[in-house]
Amino acid sequence: MPTSVQIPNPKFYYPTPLTALMTEECIAPGLSERDKFDRAKKIGWLDIDAINSARVLMVGAGAIGNEVAKNLVLSGFRDITVVDMDRVENSNLARCLFFSDEDVSSGRMKAEIVASGLMKLDGNVSAKASVGKIQEQRDGFFRNFDIVLGCLDNVLARLYVNAQCCHNRIPYIDGAMDGFRGKVQVIIPPDTPCLECGMNRSHGRIAEQRFSCTGNSISLYLPKIGAEITTTSIIGALQVREAVKVISGKQGNCIKNAVYYDGMKNSLEVLEIDRNPDCPNHLE
Q: What is the pLDDT of residues 75-87, one digit of tens each?
A: 999 999 999 999 9
Per-residue pLDDT, 45: 95
- CA-to-CA separations, 154 to 20, 117, 219, in angstroms, rounded: 52, 25, 13
Amino acid (1-letter code) at residue 242: E
Per-residue pLDDT, 59: 98
Q: How many CB atoms lie within 10 A of CB 244?
A: 25
Residue 81 to residue 131: CA distance in whole angstroms: 11
- Rg of the chain (C-alpha set): 22
Quick: pLDDT tens for 139-149.
999 999 999 99
Tell me the HSE value of 23 on the side-chain side, using a 13 A CA sphere. 5
List alpha helices for the chain, DSSP H. Answer: 10-13, 18-24, 38-41, 48-53, 63-75, 101-106, 110-121, 155-168, 201-210, 229-247
Residue 248 to residue 243: CA distance in whole angstroms: 8
Residues 220 and 210: beta-carbon distance below 8 Å: yes
pLDDT exceeds 50 at position 212: no
Q: Angle, nearest 10°, between helix axes 155-168 and 201-210?
A: 100
Quick: pLDDT tens for 74-133.
999 999 999 999 999 999 999 999 999 999 999 999 999 999 999 999 999 999 999 999
Q: Which residues make beta-bridge pairs with 128?
A: 81
Per-residue pLDDT, 160: 97
Task: Tell me which CATH code domain 34-282 carries.
Answer: 3.40.50.720
Domain borders along the chain are 34-282
What average pLDDT does the structure give for the chain?
A: 86
Name the residue with higher pLDDT: 30 or 53: 53
Residue 281 to residue 209: CA distance in whole angstroms: 22
Per-residue pLDDT, 72: 98
Residue 174 to residue 148: CA distance in whole angstroms: 8
Q: Which helix (H) or strand (E) is 260 found in, with range?
A: strand 258-262
Per-residue pLDDT, 220: 43
pLDDT exceeds 50 at position 13: no
